[in-house]
């Protein structure tokens, strides 16, 4: 029944998203994948939809790579199905493989979580459920690697941007880095198999020189591609251009 409802809602939502842009002079999405998925069959709509990715507040997300870091960091609102699934997947299928080699490593789960879900994760060996915090940077301090083991959902993940800003080298599934231009092996690492994912985290725990290089490249990437100033400036130019045309009677 749930699958049937989701399928029905998915069709209705896509129809709505494809049609809503007709009511605006210009629209914005955060992913080129979404833009082509929705509007590849309409050149007119493609021209009226621009992509500007999510941004990260670099003024509060300070680089804090820790060469002695051990804990693995997961940031996310676990009220959402995709984030809770990722946290459970990381805790039950990937973390045990890592702790065979590094038994002292723990997984910190940072973000809103339902009490019943927290209770399920609390009992897993090596998992610390931190929950919602006032300062993500402080909660992630001393971490070694930021993980994004998403298996569901899509879109640009803020958690990956936060890891990059904070100096946490990133290991993610392919879904977790959808919409990013970051390069596998340069600014982050992509792994979809749980054993490969675990081995990549272990490599970054063992070789903090490689981890540091990855973190530095990632910080440079977000500074140039995901700072709010770099994102909002061209967006505002488009809005101002549309307003100017409207004011002069061309729209």
User: What CATH number has the domain bearing residue 101?
Assistant: 3.40.50.2000
Question: What is the pLDDT averaged over residues 243-251?
Answer: 62
Alpha-carbon distance of 214 to 186, in angstroms, equals 6
pLDDT at position 2: 62
> What tokens were used for 15?
């129809």
- pLDDT bin (cut points 50, 70, 90) of residue 151 is very high
Give the mean pLDDT of the chain: 90
- pLDDT bin (cut points 50, 70, 90) of residue 227 is confident
pLDDT at position 249: 61
Full domain range(s) for residue 163: 71-225
> Is 10 within the bounds of a domain?
no
Higher pLDDT, 94 or 3: 94
Alpha-carbon distance of 193 to 71, in angstroms, equals 21
> Is 26 within the bounds of a domain?
no
> Is 237 within the bounds of a domain?
no
- pLDDT bin (cut points 50, 70, 90) of residue 62 is very high
Most confident of 10-19, 158-167, 226-235: 158-167
**Among the ranges given (3-12, 27-36, 148-157), the one the predictor scored with the smallest mean pLDDT:** 3-12
> Is 150 within the bounds of a domain?
yes
Is residue 242's pLDDT more than 90?
no
Alpha-carbon distance of 186 to 69, in angstroms, equals 20
Higher pLDDT, 23 or 82: 82
> Is 124 within the bounds of a domain?
yes
> What pTM was estimated for this model as a whole?
0.84
> Is 7 within the bounds of a domain?
no
pLDDT at position 191: 98
- Summarised one tens digit per residue, pLDDT across range 69-118 is 999 999 999 999 999 999 999 999 999 999 999 999 999 999 999 999 99
Is residue 218's pLDDT more than 70?
yes
> Is 234 within the bounds of a domain?
no
pLDDT at position 250: 52
Overall domain count for the chain: 1
> Is 154 within the bounds of a domain?
yes
Alpha-carbon distance of 225 to 216, in angstroms, equals 14
């Amino acid at each position: 029944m749930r699958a049937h409802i989701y399928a029905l809602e998915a069709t209705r939502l896509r129809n709505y998203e494809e049609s809503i842009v007709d009511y605006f002079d210009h629209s914005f999405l955060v992913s080129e994948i979404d833009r082509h998925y929705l509007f590849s069959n309409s050149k007119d709509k493609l021209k009226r939809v621009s992509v500007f990715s999510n941004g990260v507040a670099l003024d509060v997300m300070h680089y804090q790579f820790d060469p002695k870091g051990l804990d693995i960091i997961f940031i996310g609102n676990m009220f959402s199905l995709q984030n809770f699934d990722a946290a459970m997947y990381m805790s039950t299928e990937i973390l045990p493989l890592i702790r065979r080699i590094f038994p002292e490593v723990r997984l910190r789960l940072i973000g809103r979580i339902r009490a019943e879900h927290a209770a399920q994760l609390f009992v897993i060996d090596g998992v610390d459920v931190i929950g919602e915090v006032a300062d993500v940077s402080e909660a992630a301090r001393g971490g070694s690697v930021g993980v994004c083991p998403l298996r569901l959902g899509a879109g640009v993940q803020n958690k990956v941007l936060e890891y990059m800003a904070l100096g946490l080298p990133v290991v993610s599934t392919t879904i977790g880095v959808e919409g990013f231009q970051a390069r596998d092996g340069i600014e982050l690492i992509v792994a979809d198999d749980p054993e490969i994912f675990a081995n990549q985290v272990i490599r970054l725990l063992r070789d903090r020189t490689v981890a540091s290089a990855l973190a530095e490249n990632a910080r440079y990437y977000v500074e140039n591609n995901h700072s709010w100033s770099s994102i909002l400036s061209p967006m505002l130019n488009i809005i101002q251009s549309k307003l100017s045309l409207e004011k002069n009677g061309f729209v």
